[in-house]
Structure 1
């Protein structure tokens, strides 16, 4: 049955709308891809004893999708295989039921788990090089990855070496008004909140706690200008690192999730793999 539009109090397509009863109705729901049981046989060639680790946060406007969906299961399996990396895929509480900063708190807690569990988790203990950790994400997940790195830097890094930050079609606001942000982050600093718009805070950008950053944008993405703005602001901030840009022509926002088999999706994945495998410089390690 279709919803009665007179009973909708807030509407944020393509993410969710809110009924007068408080019921949250999402436009897009995700499936659930459980972990493989039993696990796959050991890969051939085997995973190296000390391999980079990619700490990946999914996108979805802070309010949809999951680390357990087939969309991200497929993407990160491909990324792990091609980059010969170990991947920790971060799930987090979704807005609006869990307003911001819930997503940031959950991501940071997962990062601390990565460090705290490293002696006991066999995959991390046997294969992960915690001196080469890449924080990555797409869309809102890229925003969360950036903010997780900023907080980790401010709290000393707790022994993790942050080798790079990978931002795919990052969400850093859409301009002078952002209704979604105002709704899911009540009491925030508005559109210039440093979590939403770090480019308005040069000192924050200058203290980014890694040595390399890759920013991926798409020509027809409505967020393209914000990705380019992040790139320019980081270069001009006095940050002591190397920032790289990769743009895909003719494509919209997160096209690689919508059509993962297209040639441009393969090229984007290849560029991310090259970034992971081409550098080991670590700026922040405590």
Structure 2
């Protein structure tokens, strides 16, 4: 075998989004295009900016703030984790920038969209650690003395919500579990929304993508992918969870299994499940103006404005 054929040998691919080669090269076909943040909120009612939130690792985030906010007003804060099989995606690409802009405008909240590091260059659990670090960064603003003025001035850290889609929903769940176990210095996590979440199946099957992104996993015995084996599930650190599934999504049954598992776990909160008929995985990101995507957006917005 010549050297060129070795170089081109694929170790894993998730087409049409991602390909990794055995020589360490990675090709990403989604999430690599960048739309700049918008300091002018006149066109869509939302301003955005990028900040480094973990200087020691360079992890950053895109922040979103509605233009309707008034001086001294405190709004709920959403921390969002993008999807992409733990291997691709970005808060800075048009798909996620536009979605968070629409969600912030609809819900009238602040948002932190986290740019956690991606596998395989940064295998799991690095994405979990980055995401937990992002929530700790949020917590650093509890006394109004944090590094980011938008959060100091406008964020109600007693009304924090987590959300994510696909792998990002998995991250949001795991961060919520950790928030129920560890102290967050004044942050009150009120709710979590998991859109088309990526978990183990009812029979314990885990996807090849998970095994690729988390080479140290124990598979179906790993509580990060299989909440049914997590002794800390009853300590989930919020009072409301909304699980969203889609009828034609290959992960649909996993979302239902998660919902049933959480409902029976002894956790003291309220869990709700919403199924969108006739749609596939993360349809709302790729067809955001369709009626069902707008309905889903409004449901997420209402979660952050209840109570």
TM-score (norm 2): 0.84
How many angstroms apart in 1 are the aligned matches of 2:73 and 2:19?
47
Give the number of aligned pairs: 276
Residue of structure 2 equivalent to 1:149 = 176
Residue of structure 2 equivalent to 1:257 = 285
- Contact preservation (8 Å) 1:8, 1:17: no
Root mean square deviation, CA, Å: 2.2
Give the deviation of 1:39 after TM superposition.
6.5
- Deviations for 1:110-132, whole angstroms, at most 9, x for unmatched residues? 11111114524221112111011
Residue of structure 1 equivalent to 2:14 = 13
Structure 1: tracts of 5 or more residues without a match: 280-286
2:223 is aligned, of 175, 190, 194, to: 194
Residue of structure 2 equivalent to 1:282 = none
Q: Where does structure 1 differ by over 6 angstroms across 4 or more consecutive aligned residues?
A: 3-6
**Which gives a bigger RCO, structure 1 or 2 (Cα 8 Å, sep 6+)?**
1
Q: Following superposition of structure 1 onto structure 2, how do residues 20-99 of structure 1 map, counting pairs within 5 Å?
A: 20-37=22-39, 43-44=67-68, 46=70, 49-99=73-123
More strand by share: 2
TM-score (norm 1): 0.89
Structure 2: tracts of 5 or more residues without a match: 48-65
How many angstroms apart in 2 are the aligned matches of 1:267 and 1:161?
27
Q: Matched residue of 1:112: which SS?
A: helix
Give the deviation of 1:19 after TM superposition.
2.3
Mean Cα displacement is larger for which, 242-251 or 15-24?
15-24
- Contact preservation (8 Å) 1:13, 1:27: no
More helix by share: 1
1:103 is aligned, of 113, 118, 127, to: 127
Residue of structure 2 equivalent to 1:183 = 212
- Deviations for 1:220-250, whole angstroms, at most 9, x for unmatched residues? 1100111111111111111101111111100
- Contact preservation (8 Å) 2:12, 2:212: no
Residue of structure 1 equivalent to 2:294 = 266
